[in-house]
């Protein structure tokens, strides 16, 4: 059945998101304080240009620690963030409309098969 392939694809992508998220948590734990991470987690990087100046300034830590010795960890974390958000945005733009079309097809197939009106 064509829906089995889609379900397998969705499950695999969900697994991939989980793996990437778990890898990202390791980098976040090495770099950011948990309270600061929680504060930042409400925002997507691609939406920073739409955030007000006051909100943006409130996101900056009052007493930032030196991150000079954490360059490689920061680079890895930022690369993973970009990848994760790119994939999430791609899913929203590409996969969700396709899933909606297929869900409607499945509902119509059930209605025909079981004579539901």
pTM: 0.46
Residues sharing a CB contact under 8 Å with residue 43, sequence separation 6 or more, in sequence order: 51, 59
CA–CA gap between residue 57 and residue 112 (Å, rounded) = 57
Residue 21 has a pLDDT of 78
What proportion of the chain, given as a percentage, has pLDDT over 70?
90
Residues of the chain with pLDDT under 50: none
Tokens representing 43 are: 């925002």
Domain map of the chain by residue range? 2-60+67-113
């Amino acid at each position: 059945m064509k829906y089995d392939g889609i379900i397998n694809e969705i499950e695999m992508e969900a697994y991939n998101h989980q793996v990437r998220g778990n890898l990202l948590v390791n980098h976040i734990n090495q770099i950011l304080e948990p309270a600061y991470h929680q504060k930042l987690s409400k925002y997507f990087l691609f939406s920073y240009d739409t955030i007000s100046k006051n909100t943006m300034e409130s996101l900056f830590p009052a007493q930032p620690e030196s991150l000079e010795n954490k360059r490689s960890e920061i680079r890895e974390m930022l690369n993973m963030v970009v990848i994760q958000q790119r994939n999430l945005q791609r899913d929203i733009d590409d996969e969700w409309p396709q899933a909606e079309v297929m869900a409607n097809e499945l509902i119509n197939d059930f209605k025909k098969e079981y004579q539901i009106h």
